[in-house]
Structure 1
Amino acid sequence: MAYSMTGFARYETEICGESAVIEISSVNHRFLDVSFRLPNQWTVLESSLRDTVKDLLSRGKVSINIRHGRSLGVAPKIRLDTERARFYIEAARGLMHLMSSTDALSLDSLIALEGVIVPEEEELDLEEIGFQLVEALKIAVSRLNEVRAKEGLALGSAISEHLGTLDKLVDNVGKRAPELLSLHDEKLRRRILEINAEVGVKEERLAMEVALMADRMDVTEELVRFRAHMVHARDIMASAGPIGRDMNFLVQEMLREANTLGSKLRDVEASRDIIEIKTEIEKIREQIQNLE
Structure 2
Amino acid sequence: MTGYARAAGAVPGASFTCEIKSVNGRGLDMRMRLAPGFDALEGDIRQLIGKTLSRGSITFTLTVERDGAGGDLLVNPQALATVLAALSDLSGRVDADRPRLDGILGLKGVLEQRDRPMDPAAEEALATAILEGVAQVLVDLVLARRQEGSHIAAVLLERLDEIETLVARAETHPARSREAILARLRQQLADITADIAVPDDRLAQEALLLATKADIREELDRLAAHIVSARQLIAGGEPAGRRLDFLAQEFNREANTLCAKANAVELTGIGLDLKAAIDQLREQVQNIE
TM-score, with structure 2 as normaliser: 0.75
Change over 3 Å in CA distance of 1:119–1:254 after alignment to 2: closer
Alpha-carbon displacement from aligned partner over 1:72-112 (angstroms, at most 9, x marks no partner): xx655989xxxxxxxxxxxxxxxxxxxxxxxxxxxxxxxxx
In the alignment, the residues of structure 1 paired with residue 71 and residue 249 of structure 2 have an alpha-carbon distance, to the nearest angstrom, of 65
Corresponding residue SS for 1:185: helix
2:27 to 14, 27, 31: 31
2:22 and 2:197 mapped to 1: Cα distance? Answer: 72
Identify the range of structure 1 (59-68 vs 205-214) with the bigger mean alpha-carbon deviation. 205-214
Aligned to 1:276: 273
| Cα 1:227/1:177, change in 2 over 3 Å | farther
Identity rate, percent: 32
Letter in 2 for 1:41: G
Query: Is there any run of 5+ residues in structure 1 with no aligned partner, and where?
Result: 80-117
CA–CA distance in structure 2, aligned partners of residues 286 and 6 of structure 1: 15
Aligned pair partner of 1:247 in 244, 250, 259? 244
Deviates more, 1:46-55 or 1:192-201: 192-201
TM-fit CA distance, 1:179: 5.3
Matches within 5 A, 1:1-292: 5-70=1-66, 120-125=116-121, 126-177=123-174, 181-189=178-186, 198=196, 203=201, 206-292=203-289
CA distance 1:29–1:15, change in 2 (3 Å): farther
Letter in 1 for 2:180: L
Distance 1:272 1:238 in 2: 31
Counterpart residue type for residue 251 of structure 1: A
State the distance in 1 between where 2:40 and 2:136 align: 21
> Is the 8 Å Cα contact of residues 176 and 211 (structure 2) preserved in structure 1?
no
Q: 3-state SS of the aligned residue for 2:173?
A: helix
2:38 match: secondary structure: helix
Distance in 1 between residues matched to 2:249 and 2:279, nearest whole Å: 10
Q: After the TM superposition, which of the residue ranges 222-231 and 31-40 deviates more from structure 2?
A: 31-40
Return the structure number with greater relative CO, CA threshold 8 A, min gap 6.
Answer: 1
Name which one, 1 or 2, has greater alpha-carbon Rg. 1
| Equivalent in the alignment of 1:108 | none
Unaligned residue ranges in structure 2 (runs of 5+): 73-113
Q: Distance in 2 between matches of 1:39 and 1:200?
A: 87
Larger mean CA deviation between 40-49 and 228-237 belongs to 40-49
Aligned pairs, number: 247
Q: Deviation per CA, 1:41-96, whole angstroms, max 9, x where unpaired? A: 211111111111111111111111011114xxx655989xxxxxxxxxxxxxxxxx
- CA-based RMSD of the aligned residues comes to 2.9
| Maintained 8 Å contact 2:9/2:130 | no
State the AA in 2 paired with 1:263.
A
Q: Which moved more, 1:238-247 or 1:49-58?
A: 238-247
